[in-house]
Amino acid sequence: MRILLFFLLFSVTAQAQLAPFIDFNGYFRTFYKNNFRQLEFQPIQSFVAGDNMVAYLDNRGDFKLYNGEEIIPLTNMNVQFKMSDNLLAWNIGPGLFYLDGKESKMLTTFSRNYVVTDSLIVYEDTRFNTVSVIYKGRNYPLFQVTGDLFMPEVIGDDLIAFRANGDFYKVFWRGRIYDLGVWMGDIKFNAGTSMLTFNDPTHRTFAIFEDGEFLDLENQYVNAYKSGRGFAVYEDINGNLIHYAKGKKTPLSNFTASFWDAKDDVAVWSENGSVYGFVDGQKSKISSYIPKDHQLKNKVFAFRNLMGGVSVFADGKVTEITTQRDATYTIYGNVVLVELFNKSFVVYKEGKLYDA
């Protein structure tokens, strides 16, 4: 059955930092502005949350959105939905719509696959065999094919790398398309926000896309690379870990790291059994051990501590949230929500802990 997709962009506070959860009584609650609020008085069916909003199906299956200030009823139809920190999409029938401000606009009645990121809605239109993107309320065609449709190679928060007809690779960024070149094989891209990294098979270099330009950072391939919010981290052929941002390279480690990661505004890596972080140009030691698991988002690094609980590195310091083993945790904005074994919750925000 063809699917109707409704896309919705809400103007929400950039630092809403919602942290929704279902407590031990089955109540749907959220942490917002240093307080806990109950959103529904009956059990809900499901929810998905981003930094600035949460979409959910209530007890009757009605689809709603909470943006920190109000609950907005969307539809009582049976829906499936996707969302990012700022964009929400849901499907009901055979057409494709999105809301630009307060005006609902139809894109196509023949939609299929789609992806929603913080600034982009990328979708297939099977009627014209096209792939297009919505950016800031405008529709931009990316490519059209005569055979089977396929989605772009990589979709970041605000940019897309894709292969058009004739194996011509291109990049969409902020409403413009930039030509990369022709290559018969696959190129492994990594996309962040306004940063794209890849080993360039044409010139045999390690390259980036930044501010509308393709630049070579190394004159040969590198071992691994990741893109953040306006920066790149990569491991060169000698095992050196390097941070790049705005024309400046900063060595992070001269030792081959057994573990490293980068996302949004944070880079973390291991060195001699310890873990270090790099945020806002500052290097900090986080732990003297390598965590079993971790999460990165915005300027927060949450990780499993030695006791099996959860600690967080944020604002230049490490805070222990809990030592309770196997507690689950999620980052929303710069807030960390931790669920304990008895369905109680602890929230970390700006160095303080709040108990639900």
User: For 109-113, 177-181, 223-227, 297-301, which range has the lowest pLDDT when averaged over its residues?
Assistant: 109-113
Q: Is residue 321 predicted with pLDDT exceeding 80? A: yes
The pLDDT of 189-215, averaged and rounded, is 97
Write down the pTM of the prediction: 0.90
pLDDT value at position 11?
A: 40
Asked if residue 4 has pLDDT above 50, the reply is no
What is the arithmetic mean of pLDDT over 277-290?
A: 97
pLDDT for 83 equals 87
Asked if residue 302 is part of any domain, the answer here is: no
What is the structure's pLDDT at 72? 87
Which of 4-18, 54-68, 214-228, 336-350 has the weakest average pLDDT?
A: 4-18
Contacts of 70 (CB under 8 A, 6+ apart): none
Higher-confidence residue of 180 and 97: namely: 180
What are the Cα distances from residue 69, in Å, to 13, 18, 66, 240, 347? Answer: 10, 10, 7, 47, 19
pLDDT higher than 50, residue 10:
no
The backbone torsions φ and ψ at residue 126, rounded to the nearest 5 degrees and listed phi first, read -75, -15
Residue 192 corresponds to which tokens in the numbers above? 């962040």
Distance (Å, rounded) from C-alpha 323 to C-alpha 339?
A: 12
pLDDT, tens digit (0-9, with 9 covering 90-100), for 216-263: 999 999 999 999 999 999 999 999 999 999 999 999 999 888 899 999
Least confident of 26-30, 100-104, 218-222, 346-350: 100-104
Q: HSE (CB half, 13 Å, CA atoms) of 354?
A: 17
* Structural domains of the chain, count: 1
**The predicted structure's pLDDT at residue 102:** 43
DSSP 3-state assignment of 165? Answer: helix
Q: What is the token pair recorded at 310?
A: 């959860």
Rounded to the nearest 5°, which phi and psi values hold at 287? -155, 160
Q: Is residue 48 part of a domain?
A: yes
What mean pLDDT value characterizes the chain? 91
Q: Tell me the mean pLDDT in the region 135-150.
A: 93
Helix, strand, coil percentages, rounded to 5, for the chain: 0, 60, 40
**Structural domain contains residue 29:** yes
For residue 346, tell me if it sits in a domain. Answer: no
Tell me: the pLDDT tens digits for 18-53? Answer: 999 999 999 999 999 999 999 999 999 999 999 988
Q: What pLDDT, on the 0 to 100 scale, is given for residue 54?
A: 93
> Is residue 28 included in any domain, yes or no?
yes
Domain with 52, as residue range(s), is 1-146
pLDDT band at 75 (very low <50, low <70, confident <90, very high): confident
With a cut of 90, say whether residue 95 has pLDDT above it: no
pLDDT score at 8: 46
Give CA–CA dist 356/237, Å, rounded.
48
Distance CA 221, CA 9 (A): 39
pLDDT at residue 1 is higher than 60:
no
Asked if residue 138 belongs to a domain, the reply is yes
Q: What is the mean pLDDT of residues 6-21?
A: 60
Single-letter code of the amino acid located at 276: Y
Given pLDDT bands bounded at 50, 70 and 90, which one contains residue 74? Answer: confident
Q: Is residue 141 part of a domain?
A: yes
Q: For residue 65, is it within any domain?
A: yes
Contact criterion met (CB below 8 Å) for 228 and 268: no
Q: What is the model's pLDDT at position 15? A: 52
Question: Are the C-beta atoms of 257 and 223 separated by less than 8 Å?
Answer: no
Query: What band does 3 get if pLDDT is binned at 50, 70 and 90?
Result: very low
Q: Percent of the chain having pLDDT more than 70?
A: 93
Q: What is the CB neighbour count within 10 angstroms for residue 223? A: 15
